């Protein structure tokens, strides 16, 4: 049963990874309703926010894109778009992040592993401006319940990530670019998950620590895709995170003032529907 659960969780997580950055850009009415394919990526990230160790992964995963009027499976994860107008969009979605084993992180040696984290909750999108025909500016306000998938499912708190997004697409979706600026705020429970040191895990170099709610990080990221042919697209992303002013920067597990994540890869579409999507335009790379 645990093996089945892990497989399901990792499939869901794969939809939120940069593998789906290869989705074509432009007016969705010109795009297939669904696409199936396979992607590969090399990704390097901090093991967790403020970690002194890094996690590098090579991934080869299948992906599915579904551009339904309500049900969506795209670069943002799996979700349901409940309301849409010219300026506002409201959805409820599922996304996630990959696990980190404590045996690979010096500061967490002997502590429980950090499992696969699934994030579920509502998001409001507000279009600020159409800068020109190919670019626009919007705000996003996602509120997410964080659920850990490790030997079962356990809620690990809430996060709120107000985000400013600039996006631009080349003619015919030949390329896309997106820049994002955001701040991540979490309740006490998610901070405890990353930064608490229980007395039984304390050592001479890792004293016991109890976390507070507040700022987790601020983030600046850029993402881009380039279409090579109708079936193949390359992508890359670079993300800088600052932990200055973070609520638990004094935790013995919080060792860095900043962190950088990056990755490159490709996505190849194997099959696509002949039916076209019927949604509004989208030039969303992943986050």
Q: Give the CATH number, domain containing residue 13.
A: 2.40.160.40
If you average pLDDT over residues 148-169, what whole number do you get?
92
Within a domain: residue 254?
yes
In a domain, 283, yes or no: no
Indicate yes or no: pTM above 0.85. no
| Residue 48: closest CA among 110, 137, 140, 116 | 116
246 assigned to some structural domain: yes
Residue 57: how many other CB atoms lie within 10 Å: 12
**Contact residues for 116 (Cβ-Cβ < 8 A; gap 6+):** 6, 9, 10, 13, 96, 97, 98, 99, 148, 149, 150
Domain annotation covers residue 285: no
Q: How far, in Å, are 37, 142, 151, 163, 284 from residue 42 at the CA level?
A: 17, 27, 27, 25, 21
pLDDT at 172 over 90: no
Structure letter (DSSP) for residue 106: G
Q: What is the pLDDT of residues 245-278, one digit of tens each?
A: 999 999 999 999 999 999 999 999 999 998 888 6
The answer to whether position 280 is within a domain reads no
Whether residue 253 is contained in a domain is answered as: yes
Domain count, the chain: 1
Asked if residue 232 belongs to a domain, the reply is yes
pLDDT tens digits for range 25-72: 445 656 788 999 999 999 999 999 999 999 888 888 888 888 888 888
Domain containing residue 50: 2-272
Asked if residues 119 and 100 have their Cβ atoms less than 8 Å apart, the reply is no
Q: Rounded CA gap, 20 and 103, in Å?
A: 30
Residue 12 burial (CB count, 10 A): 18
Residue 214 lies in a domain: yes
């Amino acid at each position: 049963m645990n093996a089945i659960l892990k497989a399901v969780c990792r499939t869901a997580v794969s939809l939120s990874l940069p593998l789906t950055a290869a989705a074509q850009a432009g007016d969705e009415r010109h795009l297939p309703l669904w696409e199936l394919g396979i992607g590969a990526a090399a990704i390097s990230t901090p093991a967790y926010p403020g970690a002194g160790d890094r996690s590098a992964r090579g991934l080869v995963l299948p992906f599915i894109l579904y551009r339904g009027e309500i049900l969506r499976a795209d670069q943002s994860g799996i979700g349901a778009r409940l309301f849409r107008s010219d300026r506002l969009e409201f959805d409820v979605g599922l996304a996630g992040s990959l696990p980190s084993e404590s045996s690979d992180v010096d500061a967490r040696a002997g502590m429980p592993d950090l499992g696969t984290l699934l994030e579920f909750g509502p998001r409001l999108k507000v279009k600020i401006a159409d800068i020109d025909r190919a670019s626009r500016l919007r705000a996003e306000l996602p509120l997410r319940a964080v659920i850990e998938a490790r030997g079962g499912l356990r809620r690990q708190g809430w996060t709120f990530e107000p985000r400013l997004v600039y996006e631009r697409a080349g003619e015919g979706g030949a390329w896309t670019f997106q820049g994002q600026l955001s701040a991540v705020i979490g309740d006490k429970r998610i901070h405890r998950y990353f930064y608490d040191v229980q007395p039984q895990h304390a050592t001479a170099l890792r004293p016991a620590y109890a976390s507070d709610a507040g700022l987790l990080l601020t983030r600046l990221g850029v993402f881009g895709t380039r279409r090579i042919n109708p079936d193949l697209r390359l992508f890359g992303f670079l993300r800088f995170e600052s932990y200055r002013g973070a609520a638990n920067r004094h935790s013995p597990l919080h060792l860095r003032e900043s962190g950088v994540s990056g990755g490159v890869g490709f996505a190849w579409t194997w099959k696509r529907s002949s039916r076209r999507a019927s949604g509004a335009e989208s030039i969303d790379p992943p986050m």
